[in-house]
């Protein structure tokens, strides 16, 4: 008994000496004070207090113009990530590119809407399996509220699976999955289907950490139905999340677009942020598809702009992609 007491005293003395030495080293700058991670960037091992950014090109596969711009950006290293739309005409071409460039981060832009007036696409699933997703023209609905009004969560899950399996059948397992026009956050049940399927396949979704009330308030103000039910589903999600998710602002001149984007970067808090944009080259065909063609052309110019690249360096940004995120995540699990 005395032996155990003496051991306990010696251990306590040793621990106090060790703690004092650690404190001294921290004060002298020899070691850094250990802090709990406060955001997903830190959880994944990125330096504390840094803005870690994914520049992500949406709408790959929508048309040839998008593919040309996005491929150049990725090959030049100006952006880190893209996602292709499985129901669209140029999807297969983008998947071939992904297979030929296995180090480039390519995901799926899961698509449940077909928003343009004269350029549209149907579901990947047979119409008989997802009737609630299909409008009177036999295409996916134009707008998210129409999907929410007509389609069940079961139909949404069926179509998500079909889009993932289409890519796998072409020989490519996507690096991540996200949601076109935010449709998969259109209801809590849609979000559950999205997150459950991401976990089932082990493919990360663009899931947003909703433990921060400021983030929740931001998306509620933007019109997303984020309630306790959706937050519960997000808490149960076991793959990595982003701390923030935003997009390149629309403006009426290129110069204003650059300035607005730089202000957006400055306004971000430290953590992992995915920023989406929609680059395309300029053609008459693109102009016939979408009224947003000018924004898309500017976005095909902006991130290769030397002044923008210098701005990124001056801001001390760290860039990443979903391949790197999952690598870091898996290393910390094992």
Q: What is the pLDDT of residue 8?
A: 38
C-alpha 208/C-alpha 205 separation (Å) is 9
Q: What is the pLDDT of residue 22?
A: 45
Beta-strand runs (E) in the chain? 51-60, 81-84, 105-110, 177-179, 244-247, 271-277, 318-319
Q: What is the pLDDT of residue 34?
A: 53
Q: What is the pLDDT of residue 154?
A: 98
Question: 20: which 2 tokens?
Answer: 């004092």
Q: Give how far Cα 334 sits from Cα of 28, 41, 327, 331, Å.
A: 34, 18, 11, 5
DSSP 321: -
Q: What is the pLDDT of residue 234?
A: 94
Q: In sequence order, what are the residues at sequence separation of 6 or more whose Cβ sits closer than 8 angstroms to the Cβ of residue 331?
A: 45
- Is the distance from CB of 271 to CB of 48 less than 8 angstroms? no
Closest by Cα among 220, 270, 221, 265 to 246: 265
C-alpha 333/C-alpha 290 separation (Å) is 44
CATH class of 41-333: alpha beta
Q: What is the pLDDT of residue 29?
A: 57
Q: Phi, psi at residue 86, to the nearest 5°? A: -60, -35
- Is the distance from CB of 304 to CB of 76 less than 8 angstroms? yes
- pLDDT one digit per residue (tens) for the chain, 334 residues: 333 343 333 333 333 443 445 445 545 555 445 567 889 999 999 999 999 999 999 999 999 999 999 999 999 999 999 999 999 999 999 999 999 999 999 999 999 999 999 999 999 999 999 999 999 999 999 999 999 999 999 999 999 999 999 999 999 999 999 999 999 999 999 999 999 999 999 999 999 999 888 889 988 888 889 999 999 999 999 999 999 999 999 999 999 999 999 999 999 999 999 999 999 999 999 999 999 999 999 999 999 999 999 999 999 999 999 999 999 999 998 7
- Within 10 angstroms of residue 53's Cβ, the number of other Cβ atoms is 22
What are the residue ranges of helices labelled H in 28-54?
A: 40-43
Q: What is the pLDDT of residue 123?
A: 98
In degrees, rounded to 5, the angle at the alpha carbon of residue 303 between the alpha carbons of residues 301 and 307 is: 95
Q: What is the pLDDT of residue 2?
A: 38
Closest by Cα among 160, 78, 105, 168 to 325: 105
Q: What is the pLDDT of residue 13?
A: 37
Token look-up 């933007």 returns 222
Q: What is the pLDDT of residue 30?
A: 54
C-alpha 275/C-alpha 317 separation (Å) is 13
C-alpha 181/C-alpha 203 separation (Å) is 20
Question: 270: which 2 tokens?
Answer: 């430290």
As a 3-state breakdown, the chain gives helix, strand, coil percent values, each rounded to 5, of: 50, 10, 35
Q: What is the pLDDT of residue 17?
A: 41
Q: What is the pLDDT of residue 334?
A: 72
C-alpha 159/C-alpha 157 separation (Å) is 5
HSE-up (13 A, CA, CB side) for residue 160: 28
- Is the distance from CB of 266 to CB of 246 less than 8 angstroms? no
In sequence order, the β-bridge partners of residue 71 are none
Q: What is the pLDDT of residue 31?
A: 47
Q: What is the pLDDT of residue 228?
A: 93
């Amino acid at each position: 008994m005395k032996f155990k007491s003496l051991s306990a005293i010696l251990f306590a003395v040793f621990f106090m000496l060790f703690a004092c030495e650690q404190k001294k080293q921290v004060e002298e700058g020899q070691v850094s004070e250990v802090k709990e991670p406060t955001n997903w960037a830190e959880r994944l091992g990125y330096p504390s207090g840094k803005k870690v950014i994914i520049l992500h090109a949406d709408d790959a596969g929508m048309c040839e113009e998008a593919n040309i711009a996005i491929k150049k950006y990725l090959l030049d290293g100006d952006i880190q990530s893209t996602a292709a739309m499985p129901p669209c005409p140029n999807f297969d071409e983008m998947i071939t590119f992904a297979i030929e460039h296995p180090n480039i981060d390519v995901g799926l832009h899961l698509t449940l809407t077909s928003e343009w007036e004269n350029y549209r696409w149907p579901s990947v699933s047979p119409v008989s399996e997802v009737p609630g997703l299909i409008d009177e023209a036999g295409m996916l609905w134009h707008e998210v509220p129409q999907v929410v009004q007509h389609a069940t969560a079961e139909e949404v899950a069926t179509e998500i699976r079909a889009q993932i399996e289409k890519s796998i059948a072409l020989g490519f397992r996507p690096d991540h999955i996200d949601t076109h026009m935010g449709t998969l956050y259109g209801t809590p049940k849609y979000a559950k289907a999205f997150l459950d399927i991401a976990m089932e396949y082990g493919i990360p979704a663009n899931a947003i950490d909703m433990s921060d009330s400021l983030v929740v308030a931001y998306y509620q103000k933007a019109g997303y139905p984020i309630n306790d039910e959706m937050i519960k589903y997000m808490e149960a999600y076991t793959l990595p999340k982003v701390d923030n998710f935003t997009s390149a602002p629309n403006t009426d001149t290129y110069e204003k677009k650059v300035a607005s984007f730089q202000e957006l970067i400055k306004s971000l808090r430290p953590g992992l942020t995915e920023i989406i944009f929609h680059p395309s080259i300029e053609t008459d065909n693109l102009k016939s598809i979408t009224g947003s063609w000018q924004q898309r052309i500017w976005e095909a110019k902006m991130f290769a702009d030397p002044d923008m690249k210098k701005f990124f360096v001056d801001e001390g940004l760290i860039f990443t992609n979903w391949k790197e995120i999952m690598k870091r995540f898996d290393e910390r699990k094992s």
